Amino acid sequence: MKEYLRCKACGYIMDKDGDHEICPACGVSKKVFEDYKYNLSPRRKFIMDLDLHPIMLHFPQAITVFIPFFGILSLITDASWGIKFLYSIEIITYLLPLTVIATIITGMIDGKNRFKKLGTPAIRKKIILGTILLIITSVMPCLIFTMGIKEALFPLMGLSIAAMVNEAILSKTGIKLISAYLPG
């Protein structure tokens, strides 16, 4: 079984077999390291170590940032580039709800794995915020489909900003859970 060390100063957990003179996270001397044992079954630890949810959540975050950025570029560049930026917005807007669904699914897998249930207050809050994000991001392609990309540009940019705010709140909630799990 693998052995670990924990930095008492910052809580960073590292493999014991590495050559650690200082903590890779905070830089303090190895004098403050202590032995650490994960209190998880190997299966649960394996699932947590995949980091599916932390990886997946970056896709909708990136897309919601690119929509207003490409929108501004479509307005300030010449017509040929402007059209390319509009088409890029259209494509990523259609993909956005799919990435949100994947993020919600991986979040539920992660939450169930960490806490053995999805009914904890923080997980319920994340499910509600994730549902709101899914609604916002599902409206966006509908706008393009009904109005066309040019006419939908400013509403898309507004909804994208609303999605970014929602994602920031979700991230603040999620970051508090990153090292939390029920033993067993």
Answering whether pTM is above 0.95, one says: no
DSSP E strand stretches across the chain: 4-7, 13-15, 33-36
Q: Could you give the CA distance from residue 77 to residue 71 in angstroms, rounded to a whole number?
A: 10
Model confidence at 167: pLDDT above 70: yes
Of 103, 95, 107, 98, the residue nearest 56 (C-alpha): 103
Confidence band for 15, pLDDT divided at 50, 70 and 90:
confident
Chain centre distance of CA 8: 27
